Each structure stands twice: as structure tokens, then as C-alpha cells.
Structure 1
Amino acid sequence: MDDGRLGGERSRVAVAGASGLIGSALVRSLAADGHEVVRLVRRAPRDADEVRWDPENGRVDAAALAGCDAVVNLAGAGVGDRRWTDAYKTRIRSSRVHGTTALAEAVASLERPPRVFVNGSAIGFYGETGDRAVDESAPPGEGFLPSLCVEWEAAAAPAREAGVRTVFARTGLVVASGGGAWGRLFPLFRAGLGGRLGDGSQYWSFVALHDEVAAIRHLLDREDLSGPFNLTAPHPLTNREITAAMGRVLHRPTLFAVPAPVLRAALGDMAGDVLGSARVLPTRLLESGFRFAFPEIDGAIRAAL
């Protein structure tokens, strides 16, 4: 990997969170191009390419990362998997912060560290933005998700301080049928039960799964890129506009709406993330020359199908 790129030759890449929506798609993409992938898993390894680690308790075998050209950390307890109790918020935080610290320290300890460490993050960094568009130059917002993202990114400091190029992939709402927010939306809309959430005025910064993986590959390949990058399509839309697009592409009515009080009663603290507005732009990604295959919502929905 003398030119710093993964595309030109066979490379060894460690991926944490390899069984998740984004991680599994990334692993498939890397393997299809002939790269060797080391998957970090929390259970007992079942295959030769798996290595066990314990992100919530901050344990990883640094020797397992030896010889890796790149390390990608996408691990973390699902933000939308369940109601945000105090206990689950603790798990969300520890799985990301402790896991990132363990990986960053392991990377920094290697005699031959990888060329790049791509660490997951989220557009939750910016908090509530309303109608105001923000990019990577904006400061963090206030609340649970912004404070989590700040800690999450700070935990990668050992790798950065050891001279490893460190990138933060601040991901938006991934349009995919196999998981995440859209994994829950598709069945509802297919059944004709889809509709706006709250008044529908909140901005959703989406990204097609194809573009999410392509952007991570872009960040891995480009040795001149470091720091935060927003992985979101160029044109965020309101929940009302996305609801209309879902109905249009799936040819289903979108008459139902979930009132904000009902969402708050059902989801607790997590309702703020669903009802909140995040109008986030991928300024640095576009400036780096990345081009989206599915910049518009209709195309992103069709790609997910």
C-alpha cells in the first residue's frame, strides 16, 4: 500500500462493527476488491478472519491488528434499538467511547501502525439545528448525542497523537432496507401505514448505503484527508418531504401521522432525536472530490429497494 490507497493492491483492513448495517456492507465491498478483512467480533470467533474483542470494557488484542494497513471502527450499541433508559444510555456511551479508546491505544502501540484509522461518529454531533444548515466547521450542539459524539471522537486521540491519520465519519440517516431507521420505515410504508413524524418540519440528513460505503472507501484511500467528514447527501430534506418521496417511490398513501406527544410517550428521550432537526451538509467530502451516486432521496430509496 505504498501509495496510501486501498484500491490499487491487496491490503489488510481491520473492521470493528463488521456485523452491523454499514460494517457488513463495507466488508463486502473490501472483500470484493480482493482486500483481506479482519473482523473484530464480541462473541467467540467462528472463522479464521475473526478476532474477539470487548468494546464496552475496552479490551482488544493489539497483536491482532499487526500488519493492518487500515483500521475502521463502526462499533457501538444501536442508538435506535430501544428506549433510552439511563442504563441503555450508559451502554450506548461505553460501547463507543471505551471501544474507541481501546482500538486507538492498540493502534498507537504497534511497531508498524496502520496508515489510517477511520472512526465512526454521527451527525448527532451538531444537535438541534432547526432550519440552519451546518457543516464540519460548526461547533457541537447540546444534549446527550452531541456530548456522546464529542467524547467518541476524543477517544481516538491516542492514534492521532501517534501520527496515524485519523478520520471521523459523521454519518447521517442511512437509507437501507436491512436496518437502521429506514429498515423500520420500509415495512410501514409498504403496508400503507407510513406518514410524517410530528409536524414533519424537521430536517433529516440522509445518505444512501451505497454512498456511505463509497465515502468510507474514499476516506480510507485519500492520504491527505483527516478530521471530521459529514457522510450525508448534499440536499437534506424535511421529514414531510421524505414521507412524500417514500409514498411516491413505493406507490403507497402517506395519510398517517404520528403526533409528537405519542412519540415522546413511546420513545422517551430518543423522541428528541426523531423529532429534532439536523440540516447537515457534506462540505468537506464534496471539496475532496467525492461524488454521490444517489444525491437525491428518490434515487436513494430506489437503491435501497
Structure 2
Amino acid sequence: MLRVLVTGAAGLIGGEVCARLAARGHAVTAMVRRNPEVRGNDGALVDGLRVVRGDVTLPLMGLAPEPQDVVMHCAAHLDFDAPEAELHAVNVAGTQNALDHAREAGAAFLHVSTAYVCGDRDGHIVEGPVPEGTCFTNRYEASKAAGERVVEASGLRFVIARPSIVLGDSATGAIRDFPSLCNVFRLMARGKVTRLPVAGGATFDCVPIDHVAEGLVALAERMDEAAAGHFHLVGDEPMPVAELAAGVARVPHFPDPEIVPPEGYEPEGPLAQRMIATFGPYFTRSPRFDDSRFRAATGLACPPTDRAWLDRLIAYGIKRGYLPSPPA
């Protein structure tokens, strides 16, 4: 049995990780900030854990350290457009506060980052430190890379886990909270975006929430073997960006978005303009994340992230009312 402190436990990843850790008999301390409810991806409250209130922007996260085996740091500021100072306070200085807490608690540190610390690099991306001189496409990516550097310099036993874009369950498409990428589906399904500017060959890497949560638990249980490692928790194959529009078009009551070249594209209105400002760089590149070290360390392989999975994601969005229902 491990003693695990999970930060960001009320979040999508943190909640599902807590559910899986508790189900395996580990002693889980779930740290929340405002929302006291820790729920798994199925929406059910997680039993068998202790909930504490903390804040990563405070020294030692505002908590009196208690003996722990692992601090799993899921808490993060996820807004691509947030001011640099806000992102630094949570994703960099907040990571340092979590590290200080782990040191006082005698714990190893499992840091949840993002695969997109690759920045604007294309092609094969290895599981290792972010290269010097990497150019990032938004302040969020830069802050997460800076957070990784703080972890690497800490002197603690650490593991850095890098999920890609986390979407719904591999079997059902279910997701407790819809992440920001889902707004692209929503805008196209509602006819607010009729043209999607995509460079030829551009891909997203999307990963099911169950693969990410199971992978984080597996790494927590293997901290000695995985120590000082960087691990990609990613889809089995990148998804062509154009497939997002194709998935919308396959739904009979949705519009049929047009794929257009990015050159000369003019947003159709403020919603499309905001979408391009947030996701535009992700429509023009194709990183390929190597996850061979993760698979060797955990024995886990991601379920198919194919067209059938995308269709399940969209069907679940309709069922939940997030995407438009068929007309009566």
C-alpha cells in the first residue's frame, strides 16, 4: 500500500486517479482548493480517501507535511490565454511549493505535465528533457516546460508524466468535464464555424482519460524503476486534424464543415477568431510522440484512438447535451 497525496484532486485527471488509487487499496490524501468533491470520470464521489484543502500558490501548499510515499502533482492552470504571471504562479512557483511539501513529507514526486512541452517541434518527439531553445506556441506550454525544469533541479526522486490532449473514455467516450478542445467540435456542430483552417498532414495527439489515469497509477506504483524518467501518455496514433471536421460531418443533423488552407483564412466571427487564437498552431503541425519508455515501464498500451473512438466521443457529447441533439 502506498501513501499518496494527489494535488488537483477535484480536477478531471486528479479525480479519476484518486478513484483508481483508492480502488487498489492505496491510502489517498486528496488535496482540493475550492471544490471539496472528488469524483471519478463516471461522476461518482470517490470513497475511501481523505480530502484536505490546500493551495499550490502558498508555501508548502498551505499544508502541514505528513509522511507520504508519493506526491502526485496534478494541479495546474490550464488556460492557454492566461497572463504569464498567473501561469507562473501556479505552474512554476506552485510546482516548487509542491516539491517543497514533498521534501518535507519524505515523498517522491510524480509531476503531471503535458506532451505539448514539445512546443512547435514536428516529427519524432522522444521521452526526455525539453531541449534548450524550444519555441512554444502559447504561454501555457512555456509554463509547463518551466515547471518541468523546476522538478528536474529539485534533487528529489521524480517522474515526469506527459499526457497529450485528454478526451473521453476509450470504450464509451464518457468524460466528466469537457476540455477546451471540445469547443472546436461544439462550434462546428452548431454551425458557428463552417471552415476549419488546417495545414496538410497536421495532427492532434488525443488520449483517452482511462489510459492517462491508469498510466499515472502505474507510474506511482513503480517510482523506483521509473525514477528520473520522462514518459509520454499519448494516443496509439495521432489523429488528423481534418478528422475533427469529418467526424462532425458524419452526424446527420450536424453541418458539413469545410477544410481550407490556413493561408488567407479569415475567421467568420469572434468565436472563430478566438478558436484560431487558441488552437491555430495545433492545426498546422504534426508531432509524433514516442511512448516506448512508458510502455516498457508500465506494460500499458493505449487503446485505439481512431475514427470509431471519435464517433463515440461525439455521441457522448450529444447524449450529455453538450453537442446539439437531433431535431424532434
The two structures have a TM-score, normalised by structure 2, of: 0.73
2:155 maps to which of 135, 156, 161: 161
Instruction: Count residues with an aligned counterpart.
Output: 282
Amino acid at match of 2:102: V
1:294 maps to which of 299, 303, 306: 303
Give the distance between the partners of 2:67 and 2:237, measured in 1 at CA: 39
Amino acid at match of 1:277: R
2:274 maps to which of 266, 271, 283: 266
Shift, 1:193, TM fit: 7.2
Matches of residues 22-171 of structure 1 in structure 2 within 5 Å? 22-43=13-34, 49-61=50-62, 63-64=64-65, 66-79=66-79, 84=81, 88-110=83-105, 113-114=106-107, 116-130=108-122, 132-137=123-128, 139=131, 141-143=134-136, 144-157=139-152, 160-162=154-156, 164=157, 166-171=158-163
- What percentage of aligned pairs have identical amino acids? 21
1:199 corresponds to: 198
Give the distance between the partners of 1:193 and 1:269, measured in 2 at CA: 16
Per-residue Cα deviation, 1:211-236 (whole angstroms, up to 9, x for no partner):
11111112112231132111111311
Pair 300,174 (structure 1): closer, same or farther in 2 beyond 3 Å? farther
Task: Confirm or deny: 8 A CA contact 2:16 2:213 kept in the other structure.
Answer: yes
Amino acid at match of 1:38: T
Deviates more, 1:178-187 or 1:30-39: 178-187
Amino acid at match of 2:304: P
Matches of residues 234-249 of structure 1 in structure 2 within 5 Å? 234-245=236-247, 247-248=249-250
Task: Confirm or deny: 8 A CA contact 2:2 2:26 kept in the other structure.
Answer: yes
Amino acid at match of 1:22: I
Shift, 1:184, TM fit: 3.2
Pair 89,194 (structure 1): closer, same or farther in 2 beyond 3 Å? same
CA RMSD of aligned residues (A): 3.2
Shift, 1:121, TM fit: 0.9
2:44 corresponds to: none
Structure 2 gap ranges (5+):
39-48, 169-174, 317-328
Structure 1 gap ranges (5+):
1-9
The two structures have a TM-score, normalised by structure 1, of: 0.77
* Structure (1/2) with the larger helix percentage: 1
SS at match of 1:27: helix
Shift, 1:243, TM fit: 3.6
SS at match of 1:54: coil
Give the distance between the partners of 2:203 and 2:214, measured in 1 at CA: 23
Pair 300,44 (structure 1): closer, same or farther in 2 beyond 3 Å? closer
Pair 187,51 (structure 1): closer, same or farther in 2 beyond 3 Å? same
